[in-house]
Amino acid sequence: MRLLRGTREAGLAVVAALLILVIAILDLSSTLRGAETASFDLRFRLRGAEPPGTPIAIVMVDDASLAALGRWPLSRHLFADAIRQLHRDGAKLIVFDLLFAEPDRPVPAELQAEARRAAARADDNGLRQSLDRLAGDDPDGDLAAAIHEAGNVLLPVAFSFTGPAGNEPDVLAASAFQSFDRSSIAPAFPLEPKSALLPVPPLAAAAAALGHVDLAYDRDGEPRYDYLALPFAGDFFPSLPLRAAASFLGVPWNDVALAPGSGVRLGTLDVPSDPGMRLLINYRGPRGTYPTYSFADVMAGRVPAGAFAGKIVLIGASFLGNADSNGAPFGSTQLPGTERMANIIDTVLTKDFITEITPPQLGPVVIAVVLLASLSGLAMAHMPTRTAFLAGLGPIAIWAFAVQWAFLHDVWLPFVGPGAALVAAAISVIMFRYWIVDREGRYVRSAFRHYLSPDMVNLLAEQPHRLKLGGETRAMTMLFCDVRGFTAISESFKSNPQGLTQLINRFLTPLTDIIMSRAGTIDKYMGDCIMAFWNAPLDDPRHADHACESALAMMRALDGVNAMLEAEASASGRPSHHLKIGIGINTGECVVGNMGSDQRFDYSVLGDAVNLASRLEGQSKTYGVGIVIGETTREAAPDWAALELDLIAVKGKREAVRIFALLGNAAVAADPAFRALAARFAAMLHCYRTQDWAGARAALNQCRALDPSLAELYALYDERIAQYESDPPGPYWDGVYVAESK
C-alpha cells in the first residue's frame, strides 16, 4: 500500500511537470521568457564580475569633456588629434562608437569662398593668414587624414529597419562578407534592414573597415545579443565588434567566412550564433569593468604614457542627455553602448561563448525534469504532509544548482520552465495529499485544535487510531491555577456578564500561551481556573522544570495584565480589578489518556498526584505565597529557588507531604540573600517542629528582616507559635499541620 501510494504521487508529479514543460517549450506565455531572461541575468550576478580577458581600453566623451572642450558634438579636429595621440601611444586598434553621418562644417562654404577671395586682396600678413585658416578649415578632411595615417581605425554603420528600401552604397560593399562556409542550419532573420546610415564619404573611405552597431534586443528590451551579421541589399554585413576582433587577430577579411545560421569563422576561430546570427554576450562585469579614460584627460595629456599600447581603444560618448546606454545583468545601472561593445569583443577574442539550449535540444532537460519530479512525488508520499514541501523543494534546489553550474561552464540551461514544472509537480502532490490522503487527519485537527496543545493535535492527526477510550500510566507534572477573590469580582459584573467573560479571556489567553510554549497541555478550563499537565502525550524529560518555569512566567505575565487593566480603567474613569492568582504544582504517577464515554471523551489525566496538585493550589492562599509545589516536584526540579513551607496533610489525605514555595529560578537560588533566607527559615521550621517556640520566633524575626515580602507567611507562623505556646501539641506531635480546608 505504501509503495502504491508512492507510485500514484510520482505519476501525478510527472503529469503536472510535463504539462508545464509543454507550455514552456511552446512558449505560449511571453511572461515565461521574461522570467527566464531575468534568471539569466541573475546568474551573472551570482557568478560575479570577472577581469577582462582582452586588452581593451575605453575613451569616453563624458560631462567633464564637454565642460572642458565645448558643447556636443565636439569638433572633429579634436577626434583627429585624439587618433594621432592614441596612434603615437601604440594603440593596436581604434574603434569609434560614434556615427559621423553628418558633415562637420563650422564655417559655411559661401563664407569660406568669400574668405579665400578676401585673403587674396589682404595686405596685412596676419589678416591674410587668419583668412586662409578660415577658408581652409576642414574638420572632416582633418579627421579623414588622421584615420588614413593611423590605418587602424574602424567606424560604425547604422542600419534602419523601417522606411523605404535603399541601395547598397559603393563604399559599403568592401565591408560585406566575401567568404562563406556551408551551414547545416537554415538562417532565420526576423528583421532585415531597409537602408544604411554611413559616415560621411571622406571618413568612410579612410576607415580601415566598417561594421554595423545595431542592437539585438530580447523580449524584455535588453540587448543580450549581438548581430554578427545582417542581410542588406543582397549582401551580409558584419557587426563592428566582430570586425574589430578580426582586425585585432590580424585575420585578412577574405579569410573571414560567414556560415549563415551557424556563425562566423575568423581564420581558425569559430564564433557560434543562433539561426538569426545572434551571439550571446558574456558580460564581464558592471560599468567600469574595463579601464575607462575621459576624452578630456586624453587630450590634455593626463593619461600615463603607454596606457593604450597594444590595446583595442574604443571611443564613445556617455554624458547627461546621451541615450546610448542600455540595461545590463549587473544591477540596475545602465551600461554605455561602448562598454557593451567591449564585452562583445572580449567574448569573441576569449572564445568564452555561452551556448543557449533551444527547444530542439531540450530532450535531456525534459528527461531530467521528469526524473526529478517523479523522485519528488515518491519522497513526498513517504513524509508527513507538513514537511512534504521539503521534498518538493529539493528537486528545485538541485535544478537551480545544475543551472548555475552549467552557466559557469558557458551553457544557458532553462530555469523558469523546468523550475515551474517542478513547482507544479510539488503543489499537485501536496494538494493531493491534503484533499485525499490527509482528510481524516484534517478532521481531527479541526475537532481538537481548541482543546489540546498543537503537538497533541498533530500527534492525533498522524495517528487517529489513538482516539479511543483508555490511557497509560506515566510520571507527570500537573499545574492548577486559580484567581483569588473571583467571587467578589463576579459580583461586580452582575449587570455586565459579557464584561466578565472578556476579563477572564484577558488573563487566560497569555497564561495559556505561556503553558503551551513550554511543552504543556491544557487539560481544561474551570471558570477562572486552569488545569495543565506536562510529559503527555509527548515525552518531556524536564516536565517538572517546565512547569516551574511556566508558573513563574505566569506570575510575571499577570503583572502586565494588571497594568493594562489599570490603564484602561483609569482612561475610562471606572474602578480597576487587580487580579491575583494562586498556583499549585505536583509531580507523580498518573493515568493519562482519553477519558469519557463512547459518545464523548477528553484527553485528560487522573490520579492521586492530580488531586494533591489541586489541593496545593488552595494552600497558596493559606501560606500567603503565589506558587506552592509538592515534595516530588522539588525533587524533580532541584535547581529552582524554593522555600520549604510546611509538612502538611491536605484535606482528604492522611499522609503528610512537604510543600515548598517557588520563589525564583536558578539565579535566585544562587543569590546569597535567598540562601540566607532559606537557612533561617529552615532553622525556624526545626525549632517549630521540636517545639522550641522561642527559637522559632527568633528565627522568624530574622526571616522577616531578610525578606519582608513574605509577611503573610510570617504572620501565619506567629499565630501558630502563639497558639502552641498557650496550648502545647504534646510530646507525640510530629510537626504535621492538618489542613481543614481545600
Query: pLDDT digit string (tens) for 560-580?
Result: 999 988 888 888 777 778 899
In a domain, 44, yes or no: no
pLDDT, tens only, 67-106: 999 888 899 999 999 999 999 999 999 999 999 999 987 6
In a domain, 537, yes or no: yes
Based on the fold, state whether residues 286 and 189 are members of the same structural domain: yes
Q: How many structural domains compose the chain?
A: 4
pLDDT value of residue 3:
45
In a domain, 267, yes or no: yes
In percent, how much of the chain has pLDDT > 90? 58
For residue 275, what are the CA distances in angstroms to 37, 190, 278, 341, 478?
A: 19, 10, 7, 21, 77
587: pLDDT confidence band, cut at 50, 70 and 90? very high
C-beta separation of 592 from 605 below 8 A? yes
Region 190-212: mean pLDDT is 92
In a domain, 113, yes or no: no
How far is 586 from 608, CA to CA, in rounded Å? 10
What the block records as the C-alpha cell of 733 is: 506531635
At how many degrees (to 10) do helices 672-689 and 693-706 cross? 160
pLDDT value of residue 1:
40
* DSSP designation for 562: H
637: pLDDT confidence band, cut at 50, 70 and 90? very high
Last residue of a domain, one of 609, 632, 665: 665
Last residue of a domain, one of 291, 317, 349: 349
Based on the fold, state whether residues 542 and 503 are members of the same structural domain: yes
Based on the fold, state whether residues 286 and 319 are members of the same structural domain: yes
How far is 438 from 455, CA to CA, in rounded Å? 17
pLDDT, tens only, 392-431: 888 999 999 999 999 999 999 999 989 989 999 888 888 8
In a domain, 217, yes or no: yes
DSSP reduced 3-state for 409:
coil
Q: Is the pLDDT of residue 159 over 70?
A: yes
Higher pLDDT, 618 or 577: 618
2: pLDDT confidence band, cut at 50, 70 and 90? very low
Last residue of a domain, one of 665, 688, 720: 665
519: pLDDT confidence band, cut at 50, 70 and 90? confident
Question: What's this model's pTM, rounded to 2 decimal places?
Answer: 0.61
In a domain, 487, yes or no: yes
In a domain, 726, yes or no: yes
Based on the fold, state whether residues 237 and 336 are members of the same structural domain: yes
Based on the fold, state whether residues 320 and 244 are members of the same structural domain: yes
Cis peptide before 231 (omega within 30 of 0): no
Based on the fold, state whether residues 614 and 511 are members of the same structural domain: yes
- What does pLDDT average to over the chain? 87
Q: Is the pLDDT of residue 653 over 80?
A: no
How far is 99 from 551, CA to CA, in rounded Å? 82
Based on the fold, state whether residues 556 and 481 are members of the same structural domain: yes
470: pLDDT confidence band, cut at 50, 70 and 90? low
Based on the fold, state whether residues 214 and 291 are members of the same structural domain: yes
pLDDT value of residue 34:
84
Based on the fold, state whether residues 685 and 718 are members of the same structural domain: yes
Q: Is the pLDDT of residue 459 over 80?
A: no
CATH number at residue 645: 3.30.70.1230
pLDDT value of residue 397:
92
pLDDT value of residue 316:
95
Domain that holds residue 680: 671-742
Based on the fold, state whether residues 420 and 497 are members of the same structural domain: no
Amino acid making up residue 698: A
pLDDT value of residue 256:
96
Q: Is the pLDDT of residue 667 over 50?
A: yes
For residue 495, what are the CA distances in angstroms to 508, 572, 587, 628?
A: 22, 18, 41, 35
Based on the fold, state whether residues 365 and 226 are members of the same structural domain: no
How far is 429 from 9, CA to CA, in rounded Å? 6
116: pLDDT confidence band, cut at 50, 70 and 90? low
In a domain, 130, yes or no: no
Region 132-151: mean pLDDT is 81
How far is 334 from 321, CA to CA, in rounded Å? 13
Cis peptide before 73 (omega within 30 of 0): yes
pLDDT value of residue 121:
65
Based on the fold, state whether residues 518 and 572 are members of the same structural domain: yes
How far is 25 from 131, CA to CA, in rounded Å? 71
What the block records as the C-alpha cell of 581 is: 492568582
